[in-house]
Amino acid sequence: MFRTLPVAFVLPAILAVATTSFTIAADKYPVHPDSVPQEGVPTGQIKGPFEWHSEIFPGTVREYAIYVPAQYDASKPACSMIVQDGLGKAKGWKLPTVLDNLIHKGDIPVQIGIFVSPGVVPAANKDSQPRFNRSFEYDGMGDQYARFLLEEIIPEVAKTYNLSTDPNDRLIAGSSSGAICAFTAAWERPNEFRRVFSAVGTYVSLRGGDAYPTLIRKFENKPLRVFLQDGSNDLDIYAGSWWVANQAMLSSLRFSGYDVAHNWGEGGHNGKHSTAIMPDALRWLWRDYPEPIKPGVPPQRRTELVIPGEDWELVSSGHQYTDSPAVNAVGEVFFADRAAGTIQLVKLDGTVTTFAKPGAGIGGLMLGPDGLLYGCHRDLRAIVRFDATGEMTTVVADTMCNDLVMLHDGTGYFTDPELQRVCRFTPEGELTVVAKGINFPNGVIVSPDQTQLFVANTRGRFTYAFMIAKDGSLQHGQKYGHVHVPDSSSFSGADGWTVDSTGRRYLTTKPGLQVFDHLGRCHLILSFPPDTDWMSNVCFGGVKLDTLYVTCEDKVFRRKINATGVVSWKAPAKLPKPGL
């Protein structure tokens, strides 16, 4: 069983690992006592290496090896330590011996080592080079490598060994490109990996990794524990400075309240320093086990919306495709099930009932100042509205409409992705084209004072802003909001909007729910609800309009935040002057 270390031992070790700045000459580090075989310590076994042909990385061949501790008991799920760059890196770190010693002492839990090499696509002939996949797999952003581990390697090892599936029971480690790879896997799948060891990490601009210090500051906190190692003589090349990048990582992780430790030295881009500190780093990463790792609480941010303890809560599930949440005058929320052709109503007590059955293609819902529910009906190619009984009438016929916003005077604006335009309409059905040329105009919202209109561009990385003239036309249109884009896509996936009383705008995108200040700057990115990877739209709901409702494929979720929503179908609200 994992042994809890005495306080007298733990604190000096943790403080030495986390805060000491070594003055040892570059690359001269002593061998740690726990990195050499010790008398009376049972020795684990190395199985393999085994060959693996990947489907997620087509054509690649690689090796992986397995460390099995002497204490492994097949009747009990074991923790795991996944190491990039395979058995060679594990032996370079003296990991088999370190794990033998620390497991025997009870300083870390029993764990299976999984040492995975990067893939190589074999050469076509003797005069050609193979395709080396290491940089693509390791330096790249996104979840492809995490999926490779979770869908291929870990299930294969689990056929033979009883591996725990608890993310708190997994540590993932790497050096250089392997380090950013380990961090990325945990960053993308914190529900699968929680502990990260990073040595001379490549958080520079090889394949976009230099974005991490910014993303860490903006994304909602994730339940991760991270140990960083680097030296002042690390690489400094065209992609950036490794030393500067690792310090930026530490700064951002600290700023955001993560459980992070570091050990800086004077070494270069090698494994000497990380090998010397490995035993104490593992002790720190596994300290207080089996207590679960939880998201840290960040210091006060300029945009502080997250309420500790408030997370996404499932409202409704089992639908075909949910979209277009819209709040009514008492705080109840409508949403469309586009494929099923229904409009559902979430009442204040949480019950969900069917409000109307207008047929497949309904969406783009929003209440109007007349108390009627307006919507976009793709299949009918019309803007429609519903009375209190759910009876539908047509407002504007023969037009393609994707999303709309209603103003206090009864007029509205809608987006038409098919013709790349934005249109204005009146309650009498009069239609005017007010903007053209946006690649894929989607979500549309107005500022609380109803003087500016904002349009999301699903296929771009900027949102658009327009000034609303007295006659309802749009003026001075320009790209305005900068949207973060995932590595796996060339466009943001920007979809639906909502807005709060300070003018902050909430936009559903591929990376998450991005929150922009009134000046169009993303301050915060809220994570997806559990087991989802897409939000189609968002609105404020509840009696106090302090709860976000998001539509996610077949589900709807809600979450209380530290903000109050604004509905555009009421009178314009004065907007506070934004901070620069």
Q: What is the CATH number of the domain that holds 17?
A: 3.40.50.1820
Kindly state whether residues 161 and 239 are assigned to the same domain: yes
Report whether 358 contacts 377 (CB < 8 A). Answer: yes
Query: 327 and 266 in one domain?
Result: no
In a domain, 91, yes or no: yes
Q: Is 439 within a domain?
A: yes
**CA-CA distances (angstroms) from residue 126 to 122, 123, 129, 557?**
10, 7, 8, 57
536 inside domain: yes
What pTM, to 2 d.p., does this model score? Answer: 0.91
Residue 1 lies in a domain: no
Asked if residue 158 belongs to a domain, the reply is yes
Instruction: Let me know the angle formed at the C-alpha of 236 by 231 and 241, rounded to the nearest 5 degrees.
Output: 70
Do 265 and 24 contact (CB within 8 A), yes or no? Answer: yes
Domain shared by 41 and 184, yes or no:
yes
497 close to 445: Cβ distance less than 8 angstroms: yes
- In-domain check, residue 298: no
d(CA 113, CA 49): 12
Q: Check which CATH number belongs to the domain holding 544 and give it.
A: 2.120.10.30
Q: What are phi and psi of 260, to 5 degrees?
A: -135, 140
d(CA 279, CA 33): 9
* One domain for residues 203 and 344: no
From 246, 270, 286, the end of a domain falls on 286
Task: Output the DSSP codes for 114-156.
Answer: EEEPPPEEPPSSTTS--EE-HHHHHH--SSHHHHHIIIIIHHH
The C-alpha atoms of residue 239 and residue 439 are separated, in whole angstroms, by 32
Residue 327 and residue 232 share a domain: no
What is the rounded CA–CA span in Å between residue 341 and residue 322? 10
Residues 212 and 100 in one domain: yes
The token pair at 25 is 């000459």
Which residue range forms the structural domain that includes residue 466?
313-560
Please list, in sequence order, all residues whose beta carbon lies within 8 angstroms of the beta carbon of residue 428, skipping any fewer than 6 positions away: none
> Which tokens belong to 277?
């500190």
Q: Is the CB of residue 173 less than 8 Å from the CB of residue 83?
A: yes
Say yes or no: 114 and 234 in one domain: yes
Question: Is residue 566 included in any domain, yes or no?
Answer: no
Are 266 and 400 in a shared domain? no
Judge whether 268 and 234 are in contact, CB under 8 Å: yes
List the structure tokens of 51: 């060959």
Looking at the structure, tell me whether residues 229 and 265 fall in a common domain: yes
Structural contact between residues 60 and 133, judged by C-beta atoms closer than 8 angstroms: yes
| 262 and 371 assigned to the same domain | no
Q: Residues 396, 504: one domain? A: yes
Q: How far apart are CA 14 and CA 55, in angstroms?
A: 41
201 vs 88: CA distance, rounded Å: 18
List the pLDDT tens digit at each of the 580 positions of the chain.
444 444 333 334 444 444 333 334 567 899 999 999 999 999 999 999 999 999 999 999 999 999 999 999 999 999 999 999 999 999 999 999 999 999 999 999 999 999 999 999 999 999 999 999 999 999 999 999 999 999 999 999 999 999 999 999 999 999 999 999 999 999 999 999 999 999 999 999 999 999 999 999 999 999 999 999 999 999 999 999 999 999 999 999 999 999 999 999 999 999 999 999 999 999 999 999 999 999 988 777 767 899 988 999 999 999 999 999 999 999 999 999 999 999 999 999 999 999 999 999 999 999 999 999 999 999 999 999 999 999 999 999 999 999 999 999 999 999 999 999 999 999 999 999 999 999 999 999 999 999 999 999 999 999 999 999 999 999 999 999 999 998 877 789 999 999 999 999 999 999 999 999 989 999 999 999 999 989 999 999 999 999 999 999 999 999 999 999 999 999 999 888 877 6
Number of domain units in the chain: 2
If asked whether residues 216 and 319 sit together in one domain, one would say no
Question: Is residue 324 one of the residues assigned to a domain?
Answer: yes
